[in-house]
């Protein structure tokens, strides 16, 4: 699994939400992986802040208020980072078409073993079924279980082919491609997409 070399100060929590799935957004809490890594989860409060931001992000379309802050200690933070890197190891294996790492599967499975304690339900919206949890996570452990379940649903299903790594220059963001044709190339059009198009324009101009 990739190591985290560099860190970030608690004041620079620049979360990103273009992952397309909760587990992929969680993987992206280690930014700039191609450049050695910039970890946004250095202290328990960082993970607590991410949980709060993630719930606000998920609640935005419905306007639901965010739940209370989920307490995290050093031990749970270490477990969370290990889960994050296990999910990422799985993503990298899927994208590269290499064998799935057994160590990563063991870590994810250790969290899935707790999933039976947290009910799920099949909700139907506009005629389409969606697997949902019946209540908000009561604690940080439950929230991490849900991340593991989300990762397992992607990695263990046919939609794993939609997992990608941004091709932007120097970027390393992971994302779940929801585009109809599965042709998305960048983590976000407003970021790496625009930079890539600008670079192509400069190259064409110079050639002319």
Pair type for strands 120-125 and 163-165: unpaired
Q: Is the pTM of this model over 0.95?
A: no
State the pLDDT confidence band at 61, using cuts at 50, 70 and 90: very low
Mean predicted confidence (pLDDT) in 73-79: 98
- Of 101 and 130, more confident: 101
CATH code of domain 6-207 = 1.10.3300.10
pLDDT of 183 reads 80
Residue 38: C-alpha distances to residues 7, 81, 166, 171 (Å): 5, 13, 16, 12
User: Mean pLDDT, the chain, as a whole number?
Assistant: 82
State the pLDDT confidence band at 97, using cuts at 50, 70 and 90: very high
Rounded Cα–Cα distance for residues 193 and 182 (Å): 15
């Amino acid at each position: 699994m990739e190591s985290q070399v560099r860190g970030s100060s608690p004041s620079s929590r620049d979360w990103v939400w273009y992952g397309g799935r909760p587990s992929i957004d969680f993987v992206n809490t280690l930014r700039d992986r191609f450049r050695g890594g910039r970890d946004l989860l250095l202290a328990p409060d960082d993970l607590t802040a991410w949980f709060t931001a993630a719930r606000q992000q998920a609640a935005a379309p419905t306007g639901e208020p965010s739940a209370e802050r989920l307490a995290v200690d050093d031990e749970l933070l270490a477990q969370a980072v290990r889960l994050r890197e296990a999910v990422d190891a799985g993503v990298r294996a899927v994208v590269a078409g290499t064998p799935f790492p057994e160590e990563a599967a063991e870590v994810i499975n250790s969290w899935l073993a707790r999933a039976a304690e947290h009910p799920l339900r099949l909700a139907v919206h506009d005629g389409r079924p969606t697997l949902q949890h019946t209540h908000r996570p009561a604690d940080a452990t439950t929230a991490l279980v849900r991340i593991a379940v989300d990762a397992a649903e992607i990695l263990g299903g046919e939609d794993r082919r939609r997992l990608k790594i941004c091709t932007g220059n120097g970027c390393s963001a992971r994302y779940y491609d929801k585009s109809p044709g599965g042709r998305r190339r960048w983590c976000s059009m407003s970021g790496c997409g625009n930079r890539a198009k600008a670079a192509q324009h400069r190259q064409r101009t110079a050639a002319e």
